[in-house]
Amino acid sequence: MHTPASMVMGIVFAPLGLVLVFTAAITPQWREGQARLGMTGVKGQGVGVRSGAVEALLLLRSDGLWESCVQVEHSELKQCWPVSGPYQRDPRVRLAQGLILSSLFLCGTGIVLACIGVRCWTDIPMRGVAATGGLLVVTAGLLSLTALGVYTHNLARLGINYPRFPHLILRPAGSLYFGWLGSCLQVVGGIALMFSFKRARYPTCPACPELTVCPACRSCPEITKHDTEVYEVSC
């Protein structure tokens, strides 16, 4: 069977979008910021050393939907923990969490339906099933886009409570970009699968142009009917 290009495009883009959105969901880089702290101590050793010199320490703070992290720049010191406090209780964060989980579930279900509908092991695909899967994938992409939009729009106001980092400036981080890309791929892949609702155009019968050739047996119904020999048996 020759699989339509729209089905191939959808069956490739939808899983890729799902992987990217899932990667964005589990990583803690939805927003990040830097805070410079001053530390008093002895800097250096030997002649000319000044006691009580101030050394700046740069901390990197990042938040995700389910995890937050703090890391010292240019070092392996890093600590992560589940989100808590005002950030966890913020209704916009909870909304983003629910939308992302719903998006992942719908996209996975849509991909399963699309795989069943394509049916590469038979001659005729189940176009209705594949298109329904595409509709679910599009819905999943729109849900994740909504979650990303809500989070990005309120990024600097989501549960701010950093008394130790008074000068922390937050900005979008890498996980958001993975999410945006994955959501767009889901929408594109789902729309491609939805083109499966369109009726396929089969080649016409050479002898009778108004008749279509059967896609399974590639035979002309009119010719087959006339060429069939009929035997009459009398008792």
Residue 103 CB burial class (10 angstroms; 0-12, 13-18, ≥19): buried
Domain covering 5-41+50-197, topology: Butyryl-CoA Dehydrogenase, subunit A; domain 3 (1.20.140)
Cα 122 from Cα 129, distance rounded (Å): 14
pLDDT of residue 70: 86
Cα 195 from Cα 59, distance rounded (Å): 50
pLDDT of residue 122: 62
pLDDT of residue 102: 96
Residue of 20, 187, 18, 179 whose CA lies nearest to 112? 18
Beta bridge partners of 41: 53
Domain ranges of the chain: 5-41+50-197, 201-235
Read off φ and ψ for residue 229, nearest 5 degrees. -85, 135
Q: Dmax over Cα atoms in the chain, in whole Å?
A: 126
- What is the per-residue DSSP string for 53-101? EEEEEEEEEEE-SSEEEEEETTSS-EEEEE--HHHHH-HHHHHHHHHHH
Ranges of residues in the chain whose predicted pLDDT is under 70: 1-3, 37-56, 120-123, 125, 160-167, 196-235
pLDDT of residue 43: 47
What tens digit of pLDDT does each residue of 43-56 get?
A: 444 444 444 445 66
Cα 29 from Cα 64, distance rounded (Å): 5
pLDDT of residue 226: 44
Cα 104 from Cα 136, distance rounded (Å): 10
pTM assigned to the model: 0.74
Beta bridge partners of 213: none
Structure tokens at 22: 């899932």
3-state secondary structure 105-164: HHHHHHHHHHHHHHCCCCCCCCHHHHHHHHHHHHHHHHHHHHHHHHHHHCHHHCCCCCCC
pLDDT of residue 227: 43
Query: In sequence order, which residues have a C-beta less than 8 Å from that of residue 108 and are 6 or more positions away?
Result: 18
Query: In sequence order, which residues have a C-beta less than 8 Å from that of residue 21 and are 6 or more positions away?
Result: 100, 103, 104, 107, 144, 178, 179, 182, 183, 186
